[in-house]
Amino acid sequence: MTKDKILVIGASGQIGVELTLALRKLYGNSNVVASDLREENELLKGSGPYVSLDVMNKEMLHVQVIRQNITQIYLLAAILSATGEKNPGLAWHLNMQGLLNVLDIAREEKLKKVYWPSSIAVFGPTSPKINCPQQTIIEPITVYGISKYAGEFWCNYYHQRFGVDVRSIRYPGLISYKSAPGGGTTDYAIEIFHEALENKQYKCFLKEDTYLPMMYMPDAISATIGLMEAPADKLTVHTSYNISAISFSPKEIAAEIKKHIPDFKITYAPDYRQKIADSWPQSIDDSVAKKDWGWKPEYNLSLMTEDMLANLNNKGQ
């Protein structure tokens, strides 16, 4: 049996850093090659191989896959919802062409598995707001959401037509303290912790009652690895799986933070991101992921808040 060798593309990003470290624990440091357009993240330095790579350069990507004997790719390079609205053309180009480059190479080199994340951003104003189902009306209004929805169908197409084992999760907003978020609408739920600790106040760019689906990073990492380790014959969804953990509003997370920092104050100044948030569901039904591969989250709002504050305090933030 060939030994697994993994390439993580976009490894210096918010998810990439933690996922690379988790994969290195599982597969061995030298078997997980981190790559990114930007420089290697400090937390990755010394923990395993790193190559500088642009996913848009298909030839160079192909060379690396062959040279490093790669058997699995985790593709994390993308432009997220808020940044995408500032440059729709670039977001579409990176999010689509990057995925197509990886899927083509996976097909040609007969890679064992590919991981590519989608997002709750595929859903739009016409999707159900509460417990949004796996299969429903999907009419996204952001370029990011459009690119994710199209990407889901490319994954399904490569699976059906060419037998590429590509797996995907529609992540909710992810909250973490190790590496900074990359330009999403849910980023407020990370900024709020930093500002609460540094300044005891936060000006939120969403309205107080904007409920969104969220998840703490350890749950997102365990979901990703759980899906990638699941037996192929258990998987019934080849577009992307809904998963869910917590739903809260800025007002609710502020109240939770206040339990630890009593003089913390939040104010609200909604901007262009409000419209994006309003178009997304408030909560997600993940019963299919639970049934197919046993997905189960661990963190609720209070556990996550406690852990975020403790870890940011330890980091001296």
- Is residue 144 among the annotated active site residues? yes
Query: Which string of b and e fits 27-57 if b means at least 16 CB within 10 Å?
Result: beeebbbbbbbeebbeebeebbbbbebbbee
Residue 184 binding ligand NAD, by CB under 6 A? yes
Q: How far is the CB of 195 from ligand AKB (least distance, A)?
A: 18
Interaction residues for ligand AKB, span 73-102 (CB under 6 A): 80-81
**Options 44, 65, 78, 276; binder of ligand NAD; rule CB under 6 A:** 78
Phi and psi at residue 17, in whole multiples of 5°?
A: -60, -50
Task: Find the part of the chain contacting ligand NAD (CB under 6 A) among 47-55, 126-134, 199-207, 234-242.
Answer: 47-55
Please say which residue, 40 or 85, places its beta carbon nearer to ligand AKB. 85
Phi and psi at residue 201, in whole multiples of 5°?
A: -155, 155
**Options 99, 120, 245, 309; binder of ligand AKB; rule CB under 6 A:** 120
185 binds, among ligand NAD, ligand AKB, none (CB under 5 to 8 A by kind): ligand AKB
Bridge-based pairing of strands 166-167 and 118-119 is unpaired
Cα atoms in the Cβ-side hemisphere of radius 13 Å centred on 137 = 11
Please say which residue, 140 or 182, places its beta carbon nearer to ligand NAD. 182
Phi and psi at residue 126, in whole multiples of 5°?
A: -90, -5
Please say which residue, 8 or 111, places its beta carbon nearer to ligand NAD. 8
Q: How far is the CB of 20 from ligand AKB (least distance, A)?
A: 19
Measure CA of the first residue to CA of the last residue in the chain; give whole Å.
Answer: 46
Interaction residues for ligand AKB, span 137-196 (CB under 6 A): 144, 173, 184-186
Query: Which string of b and e fits 182-194 if b means at least 16 CB within 10 Å?
Result: bbbbbbbbbebbe
Bridge-based pairing of strands 169-171 and 241-242 is parallel
Please say which residue, 80 or 257, places its beta carbon nearer to ligand NAD. 80
**Residue ranges in 109-249 assigned as alpha helix (H):** 143-162, 188-199, 217-229
15 binds, among ligand AKB, ligand NAD, none (CB under 5 to 8 A by kind): ligand NAD
Please say which residue, 19 or 80, places its beta carbon nearer to ligand AKB. 80
Q: Which helix or strand (DSSP H or E) is residue 119 part of?
A: strand 118-119
Q: How far is the CB of 292 from ligand AKB (least distance, A)?
A: 22
Which amino acids are annotated catalytic? Answer: 144
